[in-house]
């Protein structure tokens, strides 16, 4: 097994998106109001923010498992978390499996698949959790999966699980995340090309194993750093379809929730959002905004030169967020309505406890030698040169092909705030840019109650969700399910 991670490394393992920003002291030292934390106390604060303590930093197994490795093979089993008191396994249609990645030394990708509770003809929806490096089970058990975890580790049906209206896949990716693993460090991915190819290969084999779902509409969804993963995978699927590669995947759309997609634009929105929410003063705003031109130039250099220049851009741009957080104090970065109690902003520890139980791992077909890695600092580090990349660039071609995109954002999230997301959507150049820019903002209504606002034109939709932070399906589950069903059904507005 991988050795126990150091405290400073663990500080990276618990982020959905931007928490490493507090370490970019060089980028922020020129700004006023920066509060310096000793490295150890800063690491402890980040670790405790989600109350996750993965025992290993990545699932790279230190033993030879290559002998049984068959590239491109899926091994899947049905399971039931509900025991004797619940429906039978046959009735549930719940699956867990491993896919052996063909473009790897010996990497295996873990996934859950839950058939629709309503109709097997419902769309197939793929959910990708961000990080980079956080397991999909965080969403499965705390956001939009079929179950929630009770304090005694029993499972309760989620009335607003997305399996109510879709056949839904949750995948642990990139390699090393969650229950996905390898025995070779070279299988850790570093860019969107490697990640999207792995996911595309998985989807091809998944539909071979489940041919009854090939005809169904297919949607890619996710949140946070998945604002990178989702456009890259959508482009890869569309490219494969156009070239008649393997099975035609019936891609109809993709949805990004509180995502990081165009960092240059989104980082520039931080001071405006923070000032509007009264997190900072006008004097703070003026000081922090002096860094915006440096961030913009660094981001442009990253796009043209790549490599180390992208790490430099991250350090410079993240200084903007660091400065805001040094003023904000104990604010919950995911939901500014809330304060963190001490260092604890959320309590997600039950997912680690549940998934590391031997009986649960046996039910899922997971080896006893594996530990569930809720968030991987090594995977996170490996993607550092990918962070500042602009993944919006491939989206216009998808829109022109009639593939729908939904961008939604909880309005109380600071990290991937709605303002930055709306700005990059407006700035995107495509044939409908002007029409979308002048589209009316209408109410987003669920059961007669206004829960947000919608802008829509052609294949492009944007929703700001009231009363929600970074994790919309957790904060506004009913609205999130209604949003998904309405959007897939073409009845969002």
What is the set of active-site residues? 224, 413, 470
| Beta pairing partners, 254 | 220, 405
Q: Is 65 buried (19+), middle (13-18) or exposed (0-12) by CB count in 10 A? A: middle
Q: Is 15 buried (19+), middle (13-18) or exposed (0-12) by CB count in 10 A? A: buried
Give the chain's length: 493
Q: Locate tokens 């089993």: which residue?
A: 77
Distance separating alpha carbons of residues 218 and 477, to the nearest angstrom: 21
Integer Rg of the chain from CA:
21
Judge contact between 199 and 192, C-beta under 8 A: no
Distance separating alpha carbons of residues 375 and 224, to the nearest angstrom: 13
Q: Is 90 buried (19+), middle (13-18) or exposed (0-12) by CB count in 10 A? A: exposed
Distance separating alpha carbons of residues 190 and 134, to the nearest angstrom: 15
Distance separating alpha carbons of residues 437 and 433, to the nearest angstrom: 6
Judge contact between 267 and 420, C-beta under 8 A: yes
Helix (H, G, I), strand (E, B), or coil: what is residue 5?
Answer: coil
- CA of 171: how far to CAs of 178, 269, 281, 398, 491, in Å? 9, 31, 42, 23, 28
H or E element, residue 381: helix 377-382
Residue 431: name the closest of 399, 407, 454 by CA: 399
């Amino acid at each position: 097994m991988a050795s126990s991670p150091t405290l400073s490394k663990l500080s990276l393992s618990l982020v959905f998106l931007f928490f490493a920003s507090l370490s970019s002291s060089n980028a922020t030292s020129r700004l006023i109001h920066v509060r310096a934390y000793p490295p150890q106390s800063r690491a402890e604060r980040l670790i405790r923010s989600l109350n996750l303590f993965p025992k290993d930093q990545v699932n790279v197994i230190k033993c030879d498992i290559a002998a049984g490795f068959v590239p491109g093979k899926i091994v899947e089993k049905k399971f039931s978390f509900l025991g004797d008191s619940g429906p039978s396994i046959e009735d549930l249609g719940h699956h867990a499996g491993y896919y052996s990645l063909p473009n790897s030394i010996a990497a295996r990708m873990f996934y859950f698949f839950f058939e629709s509770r309503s109709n097997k003809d419902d769309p197939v929806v793929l959910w990708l959790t961000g990080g980079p490096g956080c397991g999909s089970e965080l969403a499965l058990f705390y956001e939009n999966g079929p179950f929630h975890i009770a304090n005694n580790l029993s499972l309760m049906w989620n009335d607003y699980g997305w399996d109510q209206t879709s056949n839904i896949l949750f995948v642990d990716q990139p390699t090393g995340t969650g229950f996905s693993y390898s025995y070779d460090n070279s299988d850790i991915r570093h860019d969107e090309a490697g990640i999207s190819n792995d996911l595309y290969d998985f989807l091809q084999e998944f539909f071979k194993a489940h041919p009854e779902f090939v005809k169904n509409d297919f949607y890619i969804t996710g949140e946070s750093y998945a604002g990178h993963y989702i456009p890259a995978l959508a482009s890869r699927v569309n490219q494969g379809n156009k070239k008649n590669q393997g099975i035609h995947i019936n891609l109809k759309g993709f949805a990004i929730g509180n995502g990081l997609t165009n960092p240059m634009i989104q980082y520039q929105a931080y001071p405006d959002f923070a000032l509007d929410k009264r997190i900072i003063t006008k004097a703070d705003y003026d000081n922090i905004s002096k860094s915006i031109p440096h961030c913009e130039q660094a981001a442009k250099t990253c796009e043209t030169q790549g490599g180390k220049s992208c790490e430099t851009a991250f350090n410079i741009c993240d200084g903007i967020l660091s400065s805001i957080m040094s003023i904000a104090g104990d604010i919950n970065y995911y939901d500014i309505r809330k304060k963190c109690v001490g260092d604890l902003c959320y309590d997600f520890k039950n997912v680690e406890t549940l998934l590391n139980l031997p009986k649960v791992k046996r039910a899922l077909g997971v080896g006893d030698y594996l530990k569930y890695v809720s968030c991987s600092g090594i995977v996170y580090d490996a993607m550092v040169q990918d962070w500042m990349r602009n993944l919006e660039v491939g989206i216009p071609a998808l829109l022109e092909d009639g593939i729908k995109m939904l961008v939604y954002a909880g309005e109380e999230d600071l990290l991937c705030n709605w303002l930055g997301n709306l700005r990059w959507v407006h700035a995107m150049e495509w044939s409908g840019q002007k029409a979308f820019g002048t589209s009316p903002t209408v109410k987003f209504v669920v059961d007669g109650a206004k829960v947000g606002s919608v802008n829509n034109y052609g294949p492009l939709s944007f929703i700001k969700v009231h009363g929600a932070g970074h994790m919309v399906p957790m904060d506004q589950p009913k609205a999130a399910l209604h949003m998904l069903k309405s959007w897939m059904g073409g009845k969002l507005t």
